[in-house]
Amino acid sequence: MNVNLEIPEKKETINDEVRISVRDLNLYYGDFQALRNMTLDIPENAITAIIGPSGCGKSTFLRLFNRMNDLITGVRVEGIVELDGVNIYDRDIDVVELRKKVGMVFQKPNPFPMSIFENVAFGPKRHGRKNRVELEDIVEKSLKQAALWDEVSDKLGQSALALSGGQQQRLCIARVLAVEPEVILMDEPCSALDPIATLRIEDLMRELSKNYTIVIVTHNMQQAARASDMSAFFMMEEDRAGVLVEWGATEKVFTNPQDKRTEDYITGRFG
């Protein structure tokens, strides 16, 4: 199967300001090495797509940046992940502050079983914003940013679970935006959505990338080609550890891959 890869017009130049840099990173689950020798830069205010076959550690890699892997017992991280020049794996890092700065959208839309309003206000409230008017402003602004306001402005008090899958995912994006993060991580955010909802999320991502640094894991090659500025291709080695095969401007990775494995994968010869 040959995938027809249409590369839309991208930003003229990719911002060469590095937002996150990963150096010599190894990650282990107990004895099992999940990520090996990863070195990679993530540019500011751009979309970086992580692509590769299932089980090669893409989600694990993404969860490095908000230290979500910490929740799993037996995880060990070696190497450096610098956000704005600070190693987020330093011992004195406040993980809660880090997660305010680095928001995350998950594979399956996971709005809380609360009203639409309470979902978006959840983060700001936890960070001490209690003023009702202020919260209303934040909710409206976040929902507008997430391109959901027009659809829900008249039913903010209703259960978020009554929304469609695509709306729920945009609500989750609004929930993240409400805490004013600088980096947004997206773990296959469209895999549970239909093609139209998917396109809406992609449009939204492009819009958000003007002001946010976005890292997205995706299984969908067309999505990576359409929506991202930078692409990083992951593979598994013999021992199932994930390695970074190639990374660079999406256009380059997709039209002129340097590594035979990247070419095979994006043209659908395996994976």
Closest to another protein by CB, 104 vs 266, is 104
CB of 198 to another protein, least distance (A): 20
Closest to another protein by CB, 187 vs 246, is 187
CB of 72 to another protein, least distance (A): 11
Question: Which residues contact another protein by CB under 8 A?
Answer: 66, 68, 71, 73, 96-100, 103-104, 106, 108, 110-113, 122-123, 126-127, 159-162, 172, 175-176, 178-179
Closest to another protein by CB, 59 vs 262, is 59
CB of 263 to another protein, least distance (A): 35
CB of 197 to another protein, least distance (A): 18
Answer for the pair 185, 102: CB distance below 8 angstroms, yes or no.
yes
Q: Which amino acid is at 216?
A: I
Q: Which amino acid is at 72?
A: I
CB of 42 to another protein, least distance (A): 18
Closest to another protein by CB, 119 vs 231, is 119
Q: What is the spatial distance between Cα 120 and Cα 174, in angstroms, rounded to a whole number?
A: 6
Closest to another protein by CB, 110 vs 220, is 110
DSSP of 170-236: HHHHHHHHTT--SEEEEESTTTTS-HHHHHHHHHHHHHHTTTSEEEEE-S-HHHHHHH-SEEEEEEE
Closest to another protein by CB, 164 vs 255, is 164
Counting other chains too, the contacts that 118-123 makes at CB distance below 8 Å and 24 or more residues apart are 119/160, 119/171, 119/174, 119/175, 120/171, 120/174, 120/175, 120/178, 121/178, 122/175, 122/178, 123/175, 123/176, 123/178, 123/179
CB of 131 to another protein, least distance (A): 18
CB of 58 to another protein, least distance (A): 17
Answer for the pair 103, 179: CB distance below 8 angstroms, yes or no.
yes
Closest to another protein by CB, 80 vs 98, is 98
Q: What is the spatial distance between Cα 200 and Cα 166, in angstroms, rounded to a whole number?
A: 8
- Half-sphere exposure in the Cβ direction for 95 (13 Å, CA): 11
